Chain A
Amino acid sequence: MARRRMNSDAPDGGWRPRLAAGVRLRVDPADGRERLLFPEAALELNETAAAIVRLCDGRRSLAEIVGELTGRYGTTGAIARETAEFLGAMRERRLVE
């Protein structure tokens, strides 16, 4: 029960996300875009999403990821919200953990 609640809540800043086993990020030679590969699909990532996923190494915390992206793309509160939303949705699909 406790685990379930944790999983459906919005992710907290201390979480250190990483790609789940069996999920791979790679550049698609056909169009130079990055795609997330798992058995059911090859999910096309836009530039921001790919940048987020690349930082999911299991060492950086969510707060640190947001910090890095803010440094890179400028300062808006939108980055924190969008990153948390995106990673929360990815966690629900068991693509990151």
Chain B
Amino acid sequence: MNTSPPRSLVAELTYRCPLGCLYCSNPLDFAKRRAELSTGDWSRIFAQAAALGVLQLHLTGGEPLLRDDLTELTAAARACDLYINLITSGVGLTEARLDAFRAAGLDHVQLSLQDGDEAGADYVAGAGVHRRKLAVARMIARMKIPLTLNFVVHRLNLDRVGAMIDLAAELGARRVELASVQFHGWALLNRAHLMPTPEQNDRAEAIARGAAERMRGLMQVVFVRNDYLAGRPKPCMGGWGRGTIVIDPAGYAMPCQAAASIAGLEFPNVRTATLGEIWRDSSVFNAFRGYDWMKEPCRTCPERERDFGGCRCQAFALAGDAAAADPACEFSPHHRTVISARTELSERINPVYRTARSSRDIVHRNNSPGG
């Protein structure tokens, strides 16, 4: 198959993180994935990526600030002219470090906040960090580094999108993203707690639309609706293997950040293959490219060129088949699993924070016979 070049690279530098967000999309078994690529490995990957056509690099994790070599990595990426976006919780970011990143060529920071309200934010993060994060946001703005604020929104905080938008404006963000929770990883585990109601979603969307209009030219306000409520799936990643390569901390290459959740895929590793080989020839990147892998109803659906049949990880998680239509689609025979998730009851289960301890417990449970 003739493939167009990848345009963006998502580098998950580490799975270590001081936060424990209920909505985290990292793999549930991250605690057993402790291996991390070296500075040299990443530098080689950045050069290969740029040569392959990648223009943009997103440094993420886990918490990328926990890499001691983040300045060197930034410099290595800038040396091959990549546009560099740092995606961070901000916890642990100092003025001296940010200054070093900027000198090394950092272009932009995307900072996550968990809520517009301190108690709500700290509850979702499982740590008392909101106040520190606000101080970091102010520092970034003061240093005139372009800033996007990202709020993952869900049932517990959707009623406060107005406060989030005001906060973002006050903090001097150029853009605020109100991104509905996507049910992968820990978020799927906590779905009964996070699933928004349709009314809540509609109200929040209207507020965001009003603010976008009001703040035109000052701050971009973007609301991303929950796909469980939309009736149609998202064009996940702009299509599998069409524009993005994700590399996990140990060097496994994936077409999206949740792809490791699909059982049976043998992910190629950047230690044993070049990025070009991985992009063009690996079975994983070719598995859901184009349209030939599709089944009905997607195979003959006119929407397939727009949404690519939705998210493969969600199809696997909810329909048990990664080649099925995304059950978020109203035409999927499994759509009822999405409908019934809207009325799941959270009262009987406790939320699970994304901690190394719960990760180890989950691994242990899955490995024990009968468990």
Binding site for B on A (CB under 8 A): 3-4, 7-8, 20-24, 26, 28-30, 35, 37-40, 42, 91-94
Contacts and interface: CB of A to CB of B under 8 A. Distances in A.
Contacts of A29: 53
A39 B219 CA distance: 15
A92 B175 CA distance: 12
Given A4-B217, A24-B83, A30-B5, A94 B56 contact: no
A92 B216 contact: yes
A93 B144 CA distance: 18
Interface in B208-244: 214-220
Contact of A22 (B108, B216, B220): B108
Contacts of A40: 175
A45 B109 CA distance: 24
B162 interface: no
Contacts of B175: 40, 94
Contact of B217 (A24, A42, A91): A91
A94 B55 contact: no
Chain B interface helix/strand/loop/mixed: loop
B148 A39 contact: yes
Nearest to A5: B217
B83 A93 contact: no
Nearest to B110: A39
Contacts of A20: 146, 174
B107 interface: yes
B160 interface: no
B53 A42 contact: no
Given A21-B145, A21-B146, A30-B53, A8 B107 contact: no
A49 B165 CA distance: 32
A26 B110 CA distance: 22
Given A22-B107, A24-B83, A94-B175, A42 B55 contact: yes
Contacts of A4: 214-218
A55 B152 CA distance: 38
Nearest to A42: B55
Interface in B169-206: 174-175
Nearest to B220: A94
Interface string B102-128: 000001101000000000000000000
17 contacts: A4-B215, A4-B218, A7-B216, A7-B217, A22-B108, A22-B145, A22-B146, A24-B83, A26-B81, A29-B53, A30-B5, A38-B83, A38-B108, A39-B108, A92-B217, A94-B174, A94-B220
A35 B81 CA distance: 13
B280 interface: no
A2 to B, nearest CB: 12
A62 B43 CA distance: 41
Contacts of A92: 216-217
Nearest to A30: B53
B7 interface: yes
B26 to A, nearest CB: 21
Contacts of A23: 146
A39 B218 contact: no
The 10 residue pairs across chains A and B that have the minimum distance between CB atoms: A22-B146, A7-B217, A37-B83, A22-B108, A30-B53, A39-B85, A42-B55, A39-B108, A21-B146, A92-B217
A37 B174 contact: no
Contacts of B8: 42
For A22, A28, A40, the residue with the greatest tally of chain B CB atoms inside 10 Å of its CB is A22
Given A7-B217, A22-B107, A92-B216, A37 B55 contact: yes
Nearest to A92: B217
B218 to A, nearest CB: 6
For A23, A26, A40, the residue with the greatest tally of chain B CB atoms inside 10 Å of its CB is A40
B146 A93 contact: no
B217 A8 contact: yes
Contact of B220 (A7, A26, A30, A93): A93
A63 B352 CA distance: 59
A28 B148 CA distance: 25
Given A39-B110, A92-B216, A92-B217, A22 B55 contact: no
B185 to A, nearest CB: 23
